[in-house]
Structure 1
Amino acid sequence: MISILIPTYNYKVLSLVSAIHKQLEITNIEYEIRVYDDGSPNPEPENDGINNFKNSVYKKLEKNIGRTAIRNLMASEAKYDWVLFLDADVLPKNSNFIESYVKAISNNNCDVIFGGISYEEVRPIREKILRWKYGRAREAKSVTLRQKEPFFIISQNLCIKRSVFLQANTLLENHYGLDNFFSNQLKKMNTKVVHIDNPVIHFGLEENDKFIKKALKAVESTVILEKKELMDDDMRPIQKSYLKLKKLHLSSVFSLIISTFKTTMERNFNSKNPNLFWFDLYRLNYYIKLKKQHNA
């Protein structure tokens, strides 16, 4: 009935597989678990134990092919019509995590089911505060809030028909922030997306500087995909904000003002209380600069 697909890279996933396997065994459904290591230079030895679990496969790729390509490979090799993608650095929040997805599949005529993302309540160390605060404010949304933008999904916890995923996951290049592209694809395909309260807890928090770099890389990806006409230019909040500024002929003025505060903002992002509104302005300013550079 369902294939659990977990790509990993330099990360221990035995505890995640154990938790998922335990839940699968009591649901009395047909299943498989596939864990593919994406060419880690030093694969975690404990992950070899995954092959000891029933209906489970642990495969190590010889070279790194990237996040979207490995997901495409896993979906292509999956046995069942429904696939559940989980990131390596998550754990189910609830003991009925698998059961909730099984019920949702049975009770809904849909193509995609998104259970949501959550974060720990306890604040992490200062070096990881920005990622934690961003995740809790922008990603850990209730079902009600998610239903307002039904096509926006986060692939850390994504249950989807195998055929729909393969049809939507057409961009196999290595880019950051491709969940936005994938969400855009689901919208273009007019897929039926159901949101349920069935989150995973995201534990793999990047340090502030690394997260900032990844966030800016995601902005770059958006501009590149727009110029290639592979993504709508009004899908995400950052795009909508830009279009408003452009309509009012204020994008250059905005960029000039925000640039004067760039150093102050970066200092704040590494503080004990980073300002997410400033983070939005910081990324929007970068987006505007890229749009001008690319003449997009």
Structure 2
Amino acid sequence: MLSILIPTYNHNVYPLVTKLDEELAATNSTYEILVFDDGSTEPLVQNEKIEIFKNTSLRKLPHNIGRSAVRLQLAKNATYNFLLFIDADVMPVSTSFVTTYIKTIKEKEPEVAFGGIFYTEVKPPIEERLRWEYGKNREVQPVAEREKKPHFIITQNVLIKKDVYLNLSIPTENFYGDDLVFSQQLKTKGIEVLHIDNPVIHLGLESSKQYLEKALSAVSSIVALEKKGVLDPDLTKLQQAYSTLKKWKAIRLFKWYVASRKRKMEQNFLSENPNLRWFDMYRLLYYIELKEKRHA
């Protein structure tokens, strides 16, 4: 019935697989857990132990191929017709996490179901504060809020039919921002997304410096994919904000305003209390600059 697919890279997945196995052992469900190590550079002996669990296997790829490519390999190797993608750096909130998905499959047979994301209320170290603030305030949304834009999902915790996933046209090159392409594909193909309350806690927080670099990389991906016609020009709030500025002929004024505060913003992003409004403006400035540079 269910293939649980976990891509990992330099991360200990033993605690996650242990929790999943503990829950599944109490059910009579047909399942498998596939873990693909995407060319990790740091050997983790803990991951070797996951094969002691029933219906669980670990495959090590010879080199890093990237998040989208390893997910495609997982999907192709999956036995069952429902795929549950879970990132390695998360942990289910509920003790009935998988049971909830199995119940959803039996009752509704959704093409796609998104359970949501959760962040602990305990503040992390200052050097990880930007990622935590962004996740807690932007990614954590109740079902009713997510249903307003049903196709916009985060693939850290998503159930999808195997044939639906394999029919999506997601680039397999290694880039940051593949969730946007995933969401765009669901929207373009008119695939219905069921939103349920079954979140995972995101535990793997990057440093603020690393997250800032990834955020800018995602902006670069948006511009490139938009230029290729892979993304709609109004899919994200960032793109919508750009369109508004362009409509009111305020791009030059916005660039001047943000550029004059850029250094102060960068210092703030690494601080104890990062300002998310500034973070939005900083990324929007970068988006504008790339659009102009690439004539996108």
Superposition TM-score, scaled by structure 1 size: 0.98
How many residue pairs end up in the alignment? Answer: 296
Q: Which residue of 2 aligns with 1:66?
A: 66
Separation of aligned partners in 1, 2:166 and 2:105: 18
| 1:7 partner amino acid | P
Q: Which residue of 1 aligns with 2:131?
A: 131
Q: Which residue of 1 aligns with 2:177?
A: 177
Separation of aligned partners in 1, 2:283 and 2:27: 44
1:104 deviation in Å? 1.2
Q: Which residue of 2 aligns with 1:15?
A: 15
Q: Is the 8 A contact 1:226 1:232 kept in 2?
A: yes
* Partner secondary structure for residue 91 of structure 2: strand
1:8 deviation in Å? 0.4
Separation of aligned partners in 2, 1:200 and 1:98: 11
* Partner secondary structure for residue 168 of structure 1: coil
| 2:124 partner amino acid | P
Separation of aligned partners in 2, 1:295 and 1:253: 20
Structure 1 stretches (4+) deviating beyond 6 angstroms?
none
Q: Which residue of 2 aligns with 1:107?
A: 107
Structure 1 vs Structure 2: percent identity of aligned residues?
A: 49
Moved more, 116-125 or 106-115: 106-115
Match status 1:293 vs 2:288: no
How do residues 33-52 of structure 1 correspond to structure 2 at under 5 angstroms?
33-52=33-52
| 2:206 partner amino acid | E
How do residues 85-234 of structure 1 correspond to structure 2 at under 5 angstroms?
85-234=85-234
Task: Write the deviation string for residues 244-273 of structure 1: whole angstroms up to 9, x where unpaired.
Answer: 111111112211211110001011111111
Q: Calculate the aligned-residue CA RMSD, in Å.
A: 0.9
Separation of aligned partners in 2, 1:125 and 1:293: 37
Separation of aligned partners in 1, 2:115 and 2:49: 28
Separation of aligned partners in 1, 2:236 and 2:62: 36
| 1:243 partner amino acid | S
Separation of aligned partners in 2, 1:279 and 1:215: 10
* Partner secondary structure for residue 271 of structure 2: coil
Task: Write the deviation string for residues 73-98 of structure 1: whole angstroms up to 9, x where unpaired.
Answer: 00000000000011100010000001
Task: Write the deviation string for residues 28-76 of structure 1: whole angstroms up to 9, x where unpaired.
Answer: 1100000010011222111011111110110111111110000000000
Separation of aligned partners in 1, 2:256 and 2:175: 28
1:108 deviation in Å? 1.7
Separation of aligned partners in 1, 2:170 and 2:117: 24
| 2:81 partner amino acid | D
* Partner secondary structure for residue 49 of structure 2: helix
Point out where structure 1 has 5 or more consecutive residues left out of the alignment: none
Q: Is the 8 A contact 1:85 1:156 kept in 2?
A: yes
